[in-house]
Amino acid sequence: MEVKAGSIDNEWHNCDYEIKEQDRYLPIANVGRVMKKALPAHAKLSKESKECIQECVSEFISFITSQAADKCKIEKRKTLNGEDILWSMFTLGFENYAETLKIYLAKYRQVSVDSTCFQRSVGSQ
């Protein structure tokens, strides 16, 4: 099944190319791996359960990203950033997830800065 990206009723998303179904979803193996980590070791996952979660997660990502993209469009920016995603999550009522993501994003940025500083110091020796 293919979905026409231009069929979304938002100018930000209007385009004239087709999006293949496999390109709209996270890889099923990754979804299954995350699901298994949340379950007891002896638990089994059906193909249908993985596909259902795959669709839900992909829809959630699209929902959050669409809100963030609308904000960027209003602000006349072309690049989404972490703050846009956090803003979108807070705006849409996903505060609990946003707080966790905010902590993760801060740690990620700190590791990135530390790594860059380390690479520069090693390169200058």
Give me the number of domains the chain comprises.
1
E runs forming strands in 6-110: 18-20
Instruction: List the CATH number of the domain containing 36.
Output: 1.10.20.10
In this prediction, residue 122 carries a pLDDT of: 65
Could you write out the DSSP letters of every residue in 53-79?
A: HHHHHHHHHHHHHHHHHHHHHHTT---
Please give the average per-residue pLDDT across 45-50, as a whole number: 97
> Does residue 90 lie in a domain region?
no
Q: How confident is the model at residue 118 (pLDDT cuts 50, 70, 90)?
A: low
Structural domain boundaries enclosing 20: 2-77
> What is the bridge-based pairing of β-strands 2-4 and 18-20?
antiparallel
> Does residue 53 lie in a domain region?
yes
> Does residue 124 lie in a domain region?
no
Q: How confident is the model at residue 123 (pLDDT cuts 50, 70, 90)?
A: low
Backbone angles phi, psi at 9, to 5 degrees: -85, 45
> Does residue 42 lie in a domain region?
yes
pLDDT tens for each residue of 69-111: 999 999 999 999 999 999 999 999 999 999 999 999 999 989 8
Q: Is 85 exposed, middle or buried (0-12, 13-18, 19+ CB in 10 A)?
A: buried
Q: What's the pTM value of the predicted model, to 2 decimals?
A: 0.70
Report how far residue 104's alpha carbon sits from residue 5's, in angstroms, rounded to the nearest whole number.
Answer: 31
